[in-house]
Amino acid sequence: MNLKHILMKFVFLIMVALCWQSAFAAGEAKLDPDNTVYKRMVTQGPASPFIETLYKCPVTVANHRLSSVGKITATDGTVIIVPAETALQKGLGPKSVDLYSECAQITPKNASEVSAKDVPVVVVDSDGEVITGYIVADNYYEMWVNGKLVSVDNTPYTPFNSAIVKFKVKRPYTMAFLLVDWDEHLGLGMEQFPVPVTEKTSQWYPGDGGLIAKFSDGTMTDSSWKAQTFYIAPLNDPSEVVEKGNVHDTPLKGRVHPFAKKPDCKDQCFAIHYPIPENWQSKRFNDLNWPRAWEYTDEDIGVNALPAYTRYPEIFSGARWIWTQNLVLDNVVIARKTVR
């Protein structure tokens, strides 16, 4: 290669570097470890609902809220489904089998009344071992094993339910959960709290999420899992979200109730969204540089009075509630664990 070609290549590399530096400075792009661009998308105000609810409880219960789905357009023109595009919305399955469900009138009094005998086994590997799992998600989960969908939460919002799953797989295997803290104010990351306190806190209430799960092979949710957030709201300003490598953080907002700062923007609040990467369900997906999950207590999650969980302490013994670093503002989360 002659000197002219070397100089041209050098100039080209400098120009590419300057372009990326400019994009980063504007907050328009970030690179993951595989040099794939994941942009932040900014929305403001409410979404337009196009699905009234994904589930209607067939009986009258005290706390049934509609699981609506909406669309909102980001400042860059991207149309985003909120709170998330889910397997339930697409009609995919299998649907979850109830451990506890007021709507299905399955309410065992304690762990001794719970049986997984009739739960169907989803086969991932025909020569694998059968694993039984117990799951509680606030609010919605869908569970994938090695890229195969094994359980879709049949009650996406409320009343709070819990589920049993069985699957047959060989080690090592990877579990991937899509988790959604559902909106009632679609696109704003807020709900209408069922207990009226004041207009400010009850009608425009940032909820919180959470996942706890335990499996018969000894696997359980804890901080060894990976967890990444893809929808952060409500925000007074997009600058409240700070990207540090692969961490999407809100360091000044408080991470749990009652310390989380409730914004006063109401229907003018902002939200930050990130594209959910392709093949996030796959065991080959690279989550190496994703942040670890954070562990939370029953008090943090606010489940001390929820029988779908509290009636069965033996079933969930040792497992920890997990989410990302902000239990209140992070609304769509993917959690992953490779079991070896």
For 274-319, what is each residue's pLDDT tens digit? 999 999 999 999 999 999 999 999 999 999 999 999 999 999 999 9
Q: Which residue has the higher pLDDT, 31 or 325?
A: 325
- 29 has which bridge partners? none
Residue 290, helix vs strand vs coil? coil
For residue 192, what pLDDT is reported? 81
What average pLDDT does the chain have? 90
For 230-240, what is each residue's pLDDT tens digit? 999 999 999 99
**What distance in Å separates the CA atoms of residue 75 and residue 121, rounded to the nearest whole number?**
45
Query: CB under 8 Å to 127, separation ≥6 — which residues?
Result: 170
Sign of the CA dihedral with 216 first, then 90, 271, and 229 last: positive
Give the CA angle between residues 84, 86, 89 to the nearest 5°. 110
For residue 180, report the phi and psi dihedrals to the nearest 5 degrees: -135, 125
For residue 327, what pLDDT is reported? 98
Q: Is the pLDDT of residue 263 over 50?
A: yes
In 3D, which of 290, 334, 226 has the Cα closest to residue 34?
290
Q: Name the pairing type of β-strands 121-123 and 162-169.
A: parallel
Q: Where are the domains of the chain?
A: 41-339
For 145-187, what is each residue's pLDDT tens digit? 999 999 999 999 999 999 999 999 999 999 999 999 999 999 9
For residue 198, what pLDDT is reported? 54
Whole-number Cα distances in Å, 31 to 223, 236, 239, 246, 287: 24, 26, 19, 8, 13
For residue 132, what pLDDT is reported? 98
Cis, bond preceding 313 (omega within 30 deg of 0): no
Q: Which residue has the higher pLDDT, 54 or 6?
A: 54
